């Protein structure tokens, strides 16, 4: 079986192929706002696959893809999918599909209990117990969302490009904003990991994924692993259970 795996998140849509055992190195990234029939045609030109596993948190784009892949075996990952984990959550239909995929990925590939942090448009924290149970988590603004909003709502603050600050005492507007964003964000992450670990009554494995994972994890010893493909791995594992 060759699976087409799609992570349709708010900023970027990542496409990959996978098998029962692993994901392939072929990889395509489409900005989610640009996702269309035409972009899918371009990306998938000449590719053969047996089934499509979609993980979407953008309903309008999910509908587009459901139509686009109507001739293929197709599944849209949700809380009722075969995931190989239990879900301890009062209204599981609320949980973002990417958060479920992250929980599936971390449960299969790392030691549990675990926390998976996805540094995307939003930053999400999801806790998985030692018994392969999804427990819930935290949603906070993503790093870029936070800094972009600051620039949008002020007259004098510019849009900044995120990178490691040189020092905390900023000597320019940009330096001051960078320190606020990166150091401030690391503080937010640390505090949330600490609170979650207290409630989980353990020292969980902490795995980071998503666009800003590498920048923020650098200098945060609380994060044990950075796994850029964790969401796709979770989608692949769900595909192996579905098809």
Ligand X SMILES: CC(C)(COP(=O)(O)O)[C@@H](O)C(=O)NCCC(=O)O
Binding site for ligand ADP (CB under 6 A): 9-12, 120-121, 142-144, 162, 210-212
Minimal distance, residue 233 CB to ligand X, in Å: 15
Cβ atoms of 73 and 51 closer than 8 Å: yes
Rg (CA), the chain: 19
Residues from 101 through 120 that contact K ion (CB under 5 A): 120
Indicate whether 118 belongs to the interface with ligand X (CB under 6 A).
yes
Kindly tell me which residue out of 57, 65, 178, 196 binds ligand X, with binding defined by CB under 6 A. 57
Give the active site residue among 21, 50, 98, 212: 98
Token match 């320190």: residue?
A: 179
| C-alpha separations of 53 from 18, 31, 201, 242 in Å | 10, 19, 35, 9
Chain residue whose CB lies nearest K ion:
9
Work out what residue 94 binds among ligand ADP, ligand X, K ion, none; the CB cut-off runs from 5 to 8 Å by kind. ligand X
Start-to-end CA span in the chain (Å): 9
Is 131 known to be catalytic? Answer: no
Q: Is 97 annotated as a binding residue?
A: yes
Kindly tell me which residue out of 4, 6, 9, 106 binds K ion, with binding defined by CB under 5 A. 9
Minimal distance, residue 210 CB to ligand X, in Å: 7
Cβ atoms of 138 and 200 closer than 8 Å: no
Please tell me the distance from the alpha carbon of residue 220 to that of residue 167, in angstroms, as a whole number: 16
List active site positions.
Answer: 98
């Amino acid at each position: 079986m060759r699976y087409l795996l799609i992570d349709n998140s708010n900023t970027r849509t990542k496409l990959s192929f996978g098998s029962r055992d692993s994901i392939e190195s072929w990889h395509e990234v489409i900005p989610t706002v640009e996702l269309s029939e035409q972009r899918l045609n371009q990306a998938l030109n000449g590719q053969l696959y047996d089934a499509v596993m979609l993980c979407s948190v953008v309903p309008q784009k999910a509908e587009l893809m459901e139509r686009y892949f109507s001739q293929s075996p197709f599944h849209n990952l949700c809380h009722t999918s075969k995931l190989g984990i239990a879900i301890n959550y009062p209204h599981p239909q609320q949980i973002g599909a990417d958060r479920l995929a992250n929980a599936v990925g971390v449960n299969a590939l790392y030691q549990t209990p675990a926390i998976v942090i996805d540094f995307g448009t939003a930053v999400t924290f999801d806790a998985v117990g030692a018994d392969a149970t999804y427990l819930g988590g935290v949603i906070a603004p993503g790093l870029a969302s936070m800094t972009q909003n600051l620039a949008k709502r002020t007259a004098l603050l510019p849009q900044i490009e995120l990178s490691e600050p040189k020092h905390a005492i900023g000597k320019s507007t940009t330096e001051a904003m960078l320190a606020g964003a990166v150091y401030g964000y690391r503080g937010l992450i640390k505090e949330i990991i600490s609170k979650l670990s207290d409630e989980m009554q353990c020292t969980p494995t902490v795995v980071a994924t998503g666009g800003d994972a590498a920048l923020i994890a650098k200098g945060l010893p609380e994060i044990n692993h950075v796994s850029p493909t964790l969401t796709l791995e979770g989608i692949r594992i769900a595909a192996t259970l579905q098809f």
